[in-house]
Amino acid sequence: MATRVRKTNTEQKILETAAGLFHRHGLRGVGVDQVIADSAVAKSTLYAHFRTKDDLIAAYLRRTDESWMGRLQAAAEAAGADPAERLVGLFDALLASFDRHGFFGCPFISAAVEAELDSKAHEATVAHTRRRQEWLTDLAGAAGAAEPAALAAHLGLLIDGALASGRLLQDRAVVDAAKTAARAAVLAQTPQHAGTAE
């Protein structure tokens, strides 16, 4: 049991170090040797957990998927019980992210640009996007949207656009504008909520 705990702690340490480096320098801007040096583990230890850099990046993206989806869902739930309100409220996760440390860009958009199409990193990025879109589609359906998948696609574009533009402009107003556009899209697709929007 102790060995498993030690292995888990080491793996988390490597992932946390890699996450910070990838966040600041991009996937291609970080070598395995830098991750080894900054996490203070032996090369053999890193390779015992992650056979390749692609494996390490994919694990980092899966970890980020859990964290980011959790933030989006928490922001949605904080907006209230109405699914339509939640579809708009989820944008508060982007605002909170900006308020914490500014925009360093979306790791999934970065991975989509930097990773090879046949890589595990690309696979993890696609899996995240599909998971997010399925959640948005379910929420849009619960809100009574006429076309849940279309509304979810619209909101997904607003999320990705806000993250990309936020990185470029470093301006919180980008997310405010995306949230306003999301509210308009939700109201257009869920006319029964037209009188309840703030």
Is residue 181 over pLDDT 70? Answer: yes
pLDDT value, residue 3: 42
pLDDT value, residue 193: 64
Q: Which two tokens stand for residue 131?
A: 């998971």
CA distance 167 to 9: 32
Q: What CA–CA distances, in Å, run from 103 to 38, 83, 179, 198?
A: 23, 27, 16, 27
Q: What is the mean pLDDT of the chain?
A: 89
Share of the chain above pLDDT 90, in %: 70
pLDDT tens digits, 42-58 = 999 999 999 999 999 99
pLDDT tens digits, 158-174 = 999 998 888 788 888 99
| pTM: predicted TM-score of the whole model, two decimal places | 0.85
Is residue 102 over pLDDT 90? Answer: no
pLDDT value, residue 2: 43
Average pLDDT rounded to a whole number, residues 99-120: 82
Instruction: Give the model's confidence band at 113: pLDDT under 50 very low, under 70 low, under 90 confident, else very high.
Output: confident
Average pLDDT rounded to a whole number, residues 21-32: 89
Of 65-79, 93-107, 173-187, the poorest mean pLDDT is in 93-107
Q: Which two tokens stand for residue 20?
A: 């910070």
Burial 136-155 (b: 16+ CB within 10 A, else e): bbebbeebebeebeebbebb
Q: Are 10 and 49 contacting, i.e. CB atoms less than 8 angstroms apart?
A: yes
Alpha helices by DSSP H, listed for 29-119, are 32-39, 43-49, 53-78, 83-89, 92-101, 107-114
pLDDT tens digits, 119-161 = 999 999 999 999 999 999 999 999 999 999 999 999 999 999 9
